[in-house]
Amino acid sequence: MKGRDLFALSVLSLALACEGNKLPTGPNAPGDASLFIGDGAHNGGNPDFFFLQPLVPNPAGDADYEPGKFNNAIGPSLTVEICRLEPDILVDGQHLPTSATPCYKNGPVDKFPAGTIHLVNNPASETGWWTGLNLNLPADGFYYVVWNTLDAHLNPEKFYRVKVFISGSDVPLGVVDIDPMKRLREFRPSLAGQVVQVLDDEPLPIPFRVEKGALCNGGTCNSATITRTSPTGTQSVIVDAGGGSIAGALFSDGWLPSPAQCPDPSQCPQSVVVTVTEVNTAGSGLPGEPTICHPALNPRLIQFRGCFNYTTTPTLRPFNAAGDQFAAEVMVAVCYELEGTNDPRRDFAELYASGPNEPPHVLTDERHEGVLVATKDCTNPPPVITLRSSNPLVQLASTGWRKLKGGLDGVFSVKTAHAVDLGLGGIVKGFSNISPVLSANIEAYGPTTVTFEGGLTVNLSAMITGNHHHLIGEEEYSGINTMPVTFSVAAGNGILRANDNADPTAQLTVNTANLTIQDGEVFTIVPGIAIVMWTPPSIPGTYHMTATGGATGGPVTYTAIVTQPPLVNIEGTWDNEVQAGANVSQLILSVTGLPVTSVHAYGNCVPTLCDWGSENADESRWNGFNELSTVFHDEVATRTVTINYLSASRIKVSITAVFNNGSGQYSTVEYFRRVT
């Protein structure tokens, strides 16, 4: 067996390898498992995974390297595989592996299964192979395995590939190719940065670092290995944006089905990695964008910032006929932007979930102080949280969360609690989004159909309610204030006003507010009410108005049935109130049918009245306007007479006379009193 001196030489040979050129950040894992060195510092590998010294130069200076972000919670789920590569290809005079070089068909030459990966939380205080080697290892910790190359019987003429996985995933977190040497003089500088050259038959430490974003697609996230049971009875995953927790999940013992519960025990892992990721896609609540965490949700419902994606690795399959993934309930939480504010909508948001195999649906509410850190102040988040995606999480408010509950009482017949990869009776496709949504419903408050005479105005109301109740004094109410309600009338259906002094319009948005109702000395406050003044046309008929808002249940349709005013008795003799200088001295209105059929007028002539004769009346503006008109013709002029009914004892008469000889015209307005 070789001694420590030779081991030190092998380490020295590793340190001679130079760092390759840094390419722009690539996907979370190498898109191809045959990158020569694929990690956060090489070839666009996973920006949250790094191989460490002595395998490669210290990556601490890399732009993607984040001190303090080491994820020490996934060790039980990490695996390492080492395979021999197939015959290599001659490239630039060297026999080097390429991206197309496969592993040898006989499988791995060595494998470190889940549970065998070593965790070092504090290399400065712990001892191991790194002790005394003066290496720059991360102060917040790393993982490693030691590969015994002697037992592997390496062929110095071949290359070997090291791949680090999350158990259950076939996409490696990182890849590095190994070129074994029999002696140091075989070192080839031309290979530096492409493969790692090591001394054969010596123990080879393979240290690596996994940061909290390694399983994410950008954005703030965290991952942890969650087992079926734990000594404490509960386990959790918490996402911290730098100022406190903003999302998380809580798992009780037995949340994963046991092998005995599964028809195929191999499909029911007893340990998975749970990842919670902030969704930073366009429309998920970034500055200046609407929040759309659940695209299929009713567009009228308000979706708040705080959209998170929950996944498991491996993806869980349904384990029973009901399509359940979990055997016990799981609690999830997100940081809710209205929590801790005075916004009247604050108490009405609920968590909604949506996945590839189920529509968006509300989750059963229950606060749970054990999920998020209670001291987190989401009303004052860091102004910018530096992310590789440049999509900061902003304006989230304090700790608000909801619970996923099992059983048959879930909306849309959700059979069990699914915080991760919500399946609803099918194989999970890889993601589920969870975020706060304002569950609200719009309905009429008061009548939706009114009947009244033409020319009148009616006040009508809409109400927006939530799924919760809150107290005002000793009374419980569900109305939500400050919710906009838009009232609309189509052309020909009248006008709307917010108050008597407001300009008329066909569409008006009113925010819901408290309505105070007085009954004697008793005052009742009803929140969530929006009121509009509607004046339909005066002409008898049926007219409509609608109300919509940020809620389900709309639009609310209101109907006004405008009736003909009571018939007015205008029949009789009417004398001009002012005889001196009057144009018309007297009118006799004859009624043979309602309202009027003829108008007999007498001009104010001297010494006797001039009889203009009798003409039929135009009654087209009587209904709704109480207006008649007629035209008198004689040898002198053509006179148009318009009569407006003012009261049972008074009428207004407007006269326009046009002289037949073309000498001009005149107009007068005179008032008449009933004589008989």
Q: Which residues, 6+ apart, have CB-to-CB distance to 213 below 8 Å?
A: 28, 47, 48, 69, 219, 220, 221, 388
Q: Which residues, 6+ apart, have CB-to-CB distance to 428 below 8 Å?
A: 312, 315, 316, 317, 325, 355, 356, 357, 421, 422
pTM: 0.66
Can you give the three-state secondary structure of 446-498, one letter per residue? CCCEEEEECCCCEEEEEEEEEEEEEEECCEEEEECCCCEEEEECCCCCCEEEC
The residues facing 302 across adjacent strands are 438
Q: Which of 55-69, 116-130, 340-354, 584-598 has the lowest mean pLDDT?
A: 584-598
Q: Is the pLDDT of residue 446 over 50?
A: yes
With bands split at pLDDT 50, 70 and 90, how would you rate the model's confidence at 354?
Answer: confident
The torsion region of residue 69 among left (phi > 0), alpha (psi -120 to 50) and beta comes to alpha
Highest mean pLDDT among 371-375, 422-426, 451-455, 592-596: 451-455
- Three-state DSSP state, 35: coil
Looking at residue 421, its pLDDT comes to 23
pLDDT digit string (tens) for 23-80? 223 233 343 444 478 899 988 889 999 999 888 889 999 999 999 999 999 999 999 9
Looking at residue 547, its pLDDT comes to 96
Q: What is the mean pLDDT of the chain?
A: 76
Looking at residue 47, its pLDDT comes to 93
Please state the φ and ψ torsions of residue 216, each to the nearest 5 degrees.
Answer: -110, 170
Looking at residue 198, its pLDDT comes to 65
With bands split at pLDDT 50, 70 and 90, how would you rate the model's confidence at 530?
Answer: very high
Looking at residue 25, its pLDDT comes to 30
Looking at residue 406, its pLDDT comes to 28
Looking at residue 159, its pLDDT comes to 86
Q: Is the pLDDT of residue 115 over 50?
A: yes
Q: What is the mean pLDDT of residues 531-559?
A: 92
572-674: CATH, from 3.20.20.70, 2.40.128.30, 3.40.50.300, 2.40.50.140: 2.40.128.30
By CB atoms closer than 10 A (0-12, 13-18, 19+), residue 187 is: middle
Task: Report CA Rg, the chain.
Answer: 42
Q: What is the mean pLDDT of residues 225-233?
A: 92
State how far the Cα of 146 lies from the Cα of 51, in Å rounded to an integer.
Answer: 14
Q: What is the mean pLDDT of residues 517-541?
A: 88
Looking at residue 621, its pLDDT comes to 80
Looking at residue 195, its pLDDT comes to 59
State how far the Cα of 144 lies from the Cα of 77, in Å rounded to an integer.
Answer: 13
CATH topology of domain 442-563: Immunoglobulin-like (2.60.40)
CA angle 115, 119, 120 (to 5 degrees): 170
Q: Is the pLDDT of residue 122 over 80?
A: yes
pLDDT digit string (tens) for 142-176? 999 999 888 778 888 888 899 999 999 989 999 99
Looking at residue 611, its pLDDT comes to 87
The candidate with the shortest Cα–Cα distance to 37, out of 153, 172, 213, is 172
Q: What is the mean pLDDT of residues 530-556?
A: 92
Q: Is the pLDDT of residue 451 over 80?
A: yes
The residues facing 81 across adjacent strands are 111, 163
Looking at residue 192, its pLDDT comes to 45
Q: Is the pLDDT of residue 629 over 60?
A: yes
Q: Is the pLDDT of residue 638 over 70?
A: yes
